[in-house]
Structure 1
Amino acid sequence: MVRCLEIKGSTRLMAIIGDPIAQAKTPATINEIFSARGADIACVPLQVPAQELETIWAGLKRMPNLVGFGITLPHKQTALQLCDSLDPLVERVGAVNVVRRERDGSFRGYQFDGKGFVRGLQANNIEILHRDALIIGAGGAAVAIAFALAEAGAKSITISNRTTAKAQLIVDAVNADFGRTIARVGSPQPEPNELVINATSLGLNDDDALPLDPDLLRPGMTVAEVIAQPETTRLLSAAGARRVEVHSGIHMIRGQVGLIADHMCEIWD
């Protein structure tokens, strides 16, 4: 049985920062893990507007009982300049999604988006190996997922973004890192049997435009989201109505929270 979360004076805090933040699933999910482990750590959401990030970051650093924080939109790339040090994977991907307070009190940036996304796919028996993938978006999550899919054995990765130059940066980084042409820039037009990933924020709001034309979707494809709230976005609903396999962003959260909890407890449990 999972114990109820008990907040005490000795409880260390972890945060999740972003704007908006009401959609964040990480606190509830990771608190269950902390509680089950008996770790005296609690995760809370903090709404941090982009223009206030630097000021709030300085305040977080001066809170000795804060062990670190997760980072969501729109801060994953801005945070690079604010961390005291970066894990090599962050430098490779160019985006931060977790910051941990190290033993010396410094803030070090880490990246679990890609590994969590792949772990979520694998937990649901969704094929990656030798499969073509289409990623829509070119933000921090898209970069991390592109690297993780390449590592997991994807056959090819197409990056589609409104700003082609941003997509090209991801393509160049992935191809250079793996020493072969695995990634390319393309349109948001899925091919048969492709793994289609919406790595944009489109879907957080009910009136958001769809990231691609759902009439292009066919059975045999898989449509996956990075958005966890709502768990079933309009895109996933449209895909399901066309008998296309769907994969909610909640699986990415579940895939990475265990990794993040391990990471925090490594020093602070």
Structure 2
Amino acid sequence: MAPPETLDWNGLRLDGKTAVLGIIGDPVAQVKAPLPLTRLLQARGINAVLVPLHVEAANVVPLLQTLLAVRNVAGIVVTVPHKQLVADLPLQVLRAAREAQAVNVLRRKGDAWEGDLLDGAGFLAGLVRNGFDVKGRSVGLAGAGGAGNAIAFALAGAGAASIDVCDADVAKRDHLVGRLRALGHTAGAWDAASPRDLVVNATPAGMRPGDPLPIAPSAIRPGHTVADVIMEPHTTPLLTLAEQHGARIVRGRHMMDEQLEAMADFFAEALQ
């Protein structure tokens, strides 16, 4: 029997007209978005697939330049640790990406890339869905990288009373704190040990077995909320500890789930 021109696996289409989206990171084995975003796009009638691409930092720029020559590559999802690196490239970025100085989605605009940042809005929506109202609350944020910047500005925009930040890179921490203050938000350095209404891990710590806790147990209080951006493992050691302390937890998967529709909307312009 001759093979079909279009392959269909559980309703998914893959053929010569399929547009390709890539998700770049280092590592990339932990990403969960490829299948659900592919399903969502195809449910909208858009013939596209999202595939993982393991890319080290030194190769990000040449890869993005090369992919512009591949005419059926329509966009890129950017994950750890490349979000700030991509934001520093000479490309057009939308408001959220410009404000946070990080990019997690790119779409083709002719012979160039256009970038945006959906992490912050996705994280905030995940909190709301889990019953946490940010307005007037104190926040302790571990991580001043791409995800941390996105989350900080989203929480500030939603009315957080204060956002205190810790990062092993003090210059990155101070840079984020300074930009928050410049926009009129209350922000400062955090020791990752004093309690806050909302405690957020926006670092990769907890992704690998044996990683140290990004936040001290003393920062967690019963009835407070602890959120993690890590999607694999599903429940990180930090979240396990938070549950043991009687805190409410918000898993990293919630941020991705809330972003999927926004990602589909973002890429649809380049795919239709």
TM-score band (shorter)? over 0.9
Counterpart in the other structure of 2:260: 257
Please state if 1:108 is matched with 2:114: yes
The structure 1 residue matched to 2:21, chosen from 3, 14, 18, is 14
In structure 1, the partner of 2:173 is 167
TM-score when scaled to structure 1? 0.93
- The equivalences for 1:185-200 within 5 A come to 185-191=189-195, 194-200=197-203
From 186, 210, 214, the counterpart of 2:217: 214
Query: What is the deviation of 1:100?
Result: 0.7
Aligned-residue offset at 1:197: 0.2
- From 206, 214, 226, the equivalent of 2:229 is 226
1:64-143 superposed matches below 5 A: 64-102=71-109, 104-143=110-149
Any conservation in 1 of the 2:165–2:173 contact (CA below 8 Å)? yes
Identify the residue that residue 26 of structure 1 maps to in structure 2. 33
SS of equivalent residue, structure 2 residue 226: strand
> Distance between the aligned counterparts of 1:68 and 1:137, measured in 2?
27
**Unpaired runs of 5+ in structure 1?**
none
Query: Partners of 1:89 and 1:188 in 2: how far apart?
Result: 26
Give the secondary structure class of the aligned counterpart of 2:41: helix
C-alpha offsets along residues 178-223 of structure 1, whole Å, 9 cap, x if unaligned? xx2421112102425x100000010110111110222442212111
RMSD of aligned Cα (Å): 1.5
Q: Please give the per-residue CA displacement for 1:226-250, whole angstroms capped at 9, x wherever unaligned.
A: 1111111111111112221111000
CA distance in 2, matches of 1:175, 1:111: 21
- Which whole-Å deviations, capped at 9, do the CAs of 1:112-164 have from their partners, x for residues lacking one? 11111101111222221111111001101111111000111111111111222
Partner of 1:158: 164
Residue ranges of structure 2 left out of the alignment (5+ in a row)? 1-9
Q: What amino acid sits opposite 2:178 in the alignment? A: D
Tell me, in whole angstroms, the C-alpha distance in 2 between the residues paired with 1:87 and 1:181. 21
Alignment check: 8 A CA contact 2:75 2:270 kept: no
Alignment of 1:172-187 (within 5 A): 172-177=178-183, 180-187=184-191
Match of 2:48? 41
> CA offset at residue 83 of structure 1?
4.5
Tell me the TM-score normalised to structure 2 length.
Answer: 0.92
Cα pair distance change 1:64/1:189, threshold 3 Å:
same
Are the counterparts in 1 of residues 41 and 264 from structure 2 also a CA contact under 8 Å?
yes
Residue 105 (structure 1) shift: 2.8
CA positional deviation for 1:24: 0.6
Aligned-pair CA distance for 1:8: 1.3
Instruction: Read off the aligned partner of 1:22 and give its amino acid letter.
Output: A
- Structure 2 vs 1, CA of residues 202 and 139 (structure 1 numbering), >3 Å: closer, same or farther? same
Query: How far 1:41 moved relative to its partner?
Result: 1.1
The one-letter amino acid of 2:189's match is V
CA distance in 2, matches of 1:221, 1:253: 22
